[in-house]
Amino acid sequence: MSRQEKTSNAENELQFYIRHVRWFVNFFAEPSLVGEKLDIICSTLGEKIEQALIEDSAVDKLKPDVIVGWNHIAEMNLEKMTWLGVLKIQTDLGHAQIDIKDIQNVSIRLSKVLMENFSDLNQLGRIMFDIDSPLYVVLSTDKTDPKVETWDAPTILRYKKALGPYLGLYSGQWPDYSDELYNRRIENNLSNRTTELHFYARNSAFIYIEGEGYERFWNYVEEVMDPPLVRARGVIFVMLKLQELIQRFLQELPDLRMQDI
């Protein structure tokens, strides 16, 4: 084996041990649902999600401990539903060494479970979940093997093939990806610290915070870094629903002729 091949293999063999996986789903709700009633909905969903994932052999090996919660995003005015929120599902994998395909499978399975339950809730007319967009998935970790001391630009470039699969979760993973694609994926690391990685894509995000900093700054991640993601997804959801309302409004307009105006 040539020196170049050995270097390439070493770069591919960097392993990330995933600590948390979080999924986000936006929803509209009547103000009267906010509070205890929404807590009950989340609790019921959590039980159903855990049971469905346990019954799936491809997912059960991850032993997910699902926590379902909700947060307020903004007051809107969309028909009777004026409250825009987000449902967060979180599982602590405890530094699991898992294939990225397993995380994709869990996300797809989870999406199906949620759609089945969301459809029933949506039909009640008091809550409307976003069942049209992919679940937003945030992967976070604080451990690699081998340990990387500094995530500067040359190091990120060096490990681009190991990083690549985590930076575009729904994009598919192929062994013959071009250098150009990997280079695009590793653009725009938003962290200004060489001990961290913050990559945000349209439907997924990847966060690495080294060692003790992970525990120390986790509240910062949830309270400061998550909200912009959630709001951005919420804006997309609002725009889609507004488009539906406009189309419905136009369809209900009478067929006016110019001489009638």
pLDDT digits (tens, 9 = 90+) for 192-223: 888 999 998 888 899 999 888 888 888 888 87
Compute CA 167 distance to the chain's CA centroid, rounded to the nearest angstrom: 11
> Is residue 203 helix, strand or coil?
coil
Give the span between the Cα atoms of 46 and 89, in whole angstroms: 8
- Report whether 62 contacts 93 (CB < 8 A): yes
Q: What is the mean pLDDT of residues 228-247?
A: 79
pLDDT, tens only, 4-62: 444 445 556 799 998 888 888 888 877 777 778 888 888 887 887 777 777 766 666 66
Other Cβ atoms less than 10 A from the Cβ of 45: the count is 22
Q: What is the DSSP string of 106-168?
A: HHHHHHHHHHHHHHHHHHTTSEEE--SSPPEEEEEEEEEES--S---HHHHHHTHHHHGGGG-
Residue 94 has pLDDT above 50, yes or no: yes
Q: Where are the alpha helices (DSSP H) in the chain?
A: 3-12, 36-54, 57-60, 100-123, 153-158, 160-163, 179-185, 212-220, 226-252
Give the span between the Cα atoms of 45 and 25, in whole angstroms: 13
Please give the angle made by the CA atoms of 196, 157 and 162, to the nearest 5 degrees: 75
DSSP letter for 55, please: T
Q: Is the pTM of this model over 0.85?
A: no
DSSP letter for 25, please: E
Residue 206 has a pLDDT of 92
Copy the structure tokens of residue 105.
């499978």
- Report whether 11 contacts 159 (CB < 8 A): yes
Top-confidence range, 185-199, 227-241, 246-260: 185-199
Give me the residues paired with residue 85 across strands: 27, 72
